[in-house]
Amino acid sequence: MARKGPVTLDVSTVPLGLAQIRVGSSSDNIAEIQPALSASDSIGALAETAFTGNTDWFTLESGFPLIKDADWPIREGASLACAFKEVTPANMAMAYGHDPNASPYDTMTVHSGEVPLGDRAAPDYIRMEACYTYPNGTNHMYIIFPRAQAKSTVELPFAAEDAAAIPMTFESGRADSEATDGNAVWDDKPLGRMFWD
């Protein structure tokens, strides 16, 4: 007997698990449309990852009673929320809006360093790449924000029997040639791109 309902068409396309988050310099990699970062640029273990492609819509209605005529997008954004587990100076600096690869932060020094409190400014621009590996271990999905900012209200929860998970959101900013420090490779995809291999 044939199964009914939404039967899986291709099991290799079903995601399970978390994406690896990689962070690097936006300005050094702005002209690169392919992944420019590697596993060594990962921010480490995560508790969650979630992509959001948010769009605000305008709906045109006319007549009586009003009936929808058309919908147009009036605002678009892209963000990736995560919660990191590895509490290092570089990761905490990033949560506070600093480029973790810039001085005085060092992604290789995990138990010494400083993050200033009480002196926040506009978040630095960084490149964020999410690399998701499908359960088959062969296929990947990438999300690239060439000019992102890390934004968060920093919360470091200590618990007796669970690891801390610090929430943070990467918001993609314009990276096209009309943006400061942008590049023409992003002109038809100013917030970045998703792609598969």
In a domain, 61, yes or no: no
User: Residue 77: pLDDT band by 50, 70, 90 thresholds?
Assistant: very high
In a domain, 2, yes or no: no
Per-residue pLDDT at 65 exceeds 90: yes
Mean pLDDT of the region 1-14? 86
In a domain, 3, yes or no: no
User: Residue 57: pLDDT band by 50, 70, 90 thresholds?
Assistant: very high
Which are the contacts of 96, defined by CB distance < 8 A and separation ≥ 6?
Answer: 115, 116, 117, 120, 152, 154
Give residue for tokens 């943006």. 179
Containing H/E element for 92?
helix 89-95
In a domain, 99, yes or no: yes
In a domain, 1, yes or no: no
The range of the structural domain enclosing residue 190 comes to 12-53+77-196
The DSSP 8-state label assigned to residue 42 in this structure reads B
Please give the pLDDT value at position 1.
61
In a domain, 58, yes or no: no
In a domain, 65, yes or no: no
pLDDT in tens, 91-132: 999 999 999 988 888 777 888 888 989 988 999 999 999 999
Total tally of structural domains belonging to the chain: 1
In a domain, 32, yes or no: yes
Please give the pLDDT value at position 58.
97
Neighbour-count burial of 24, counting CB atoms closer than 10 A to its CB (0-12 exposed, 13-18 middle, 19+ buried) = buried
Return the half-sphere exposure (C-beta side, CA atoms, 13 A cut-off) of residue 129: 25
Please give the pLDDT value at position 103.
80
User: Residue 34: pLDDT band by 50, 70, 90 thresholds?
Assistant: very high
Q: Compute the mean pLDDT over every residue in the chain, rounded to the nearest whole number.
A: 94
Mean pLDDT of the region 36-47? 96
Mean pLDDT of the region 63-86? 97
Mean pLDDT of the region 61-82? 97
Cα of 7 vs its chain's centroid, Å: 31
User: Residue 2: pLDDT band by 50, 70, 90 thresholds?
Assistant: confident
pLDDT in tens, 130-159: 999 999 999 999 999 999 999 999 999 898
- Tell me how far apart the alpha carbons of residues 181 and 155 are, in angstroms, rounded to a whole number: 31
